[in-house]
């Protein structure tokens, strides 16, 4: 069974920064056997992929809307995924979720995960004000 717990969201002014974390608990599975991704759902919108990172962390993908501002990383020793968000904009306001799966889908493929292994967690809310 795989469980995720996102944290780090909050209220920030435009131009500010936040660092999101996602701790994974996966009984019987090894964290570094899976690719990891961040998703977000803005009010009234569908959930969308934000970024994805390979098992070892050496390959990353980003949505065009966040490229150059967000950085995804992982600490396999801590079973933790991170998203450093800089130069935040009001349009980044959303609930952010993490997921793990077999491999990343590239932005060309739709930016997400192949065979996502977890159910969605509670997410962490990010609110960016002007």
What whole-number distance in Å separates Cα of residue 27 and Cα of residue 34? 13
Q: Supply the pLDDT for residue 72.
A: 98
Banded pLDDT at 111 (limits 50, 70, 90): very high
pLDDT digits (tens, 9 = 90+) for 7-27: 999 999 999 999 999 999 988
Give the Cα separation of 79 and 99 in Å (integer). 12
């Amino acid at each position: 069974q795989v469980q995720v717990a996102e944290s780090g969201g909050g209220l920030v002014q435009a131009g500010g920064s936040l660092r999101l974390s996602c701790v994974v608990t996966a009984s019987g599975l090894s964290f570094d056997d899976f690719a990891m991704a961040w998703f977000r759902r803005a009010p009234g919108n569908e959930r969308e992929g934000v970024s994805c990172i390979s098992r070892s962390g050496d390959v990353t993908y980003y949505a065009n809307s966040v490229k150059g501002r967000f950085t995804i990383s992982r600490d396999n020793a801590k079973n933790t995924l991170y998203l450093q968000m800089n130069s935040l904009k009001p349009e980044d306001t959303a609930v952010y979720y993490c997921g793990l799966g077999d491999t990343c889908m590239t932005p060309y493929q739709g930016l997400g995960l192949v065979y996502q292994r977890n159910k969605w967690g509670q997410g962490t809310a990010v609110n960016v004000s002007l």
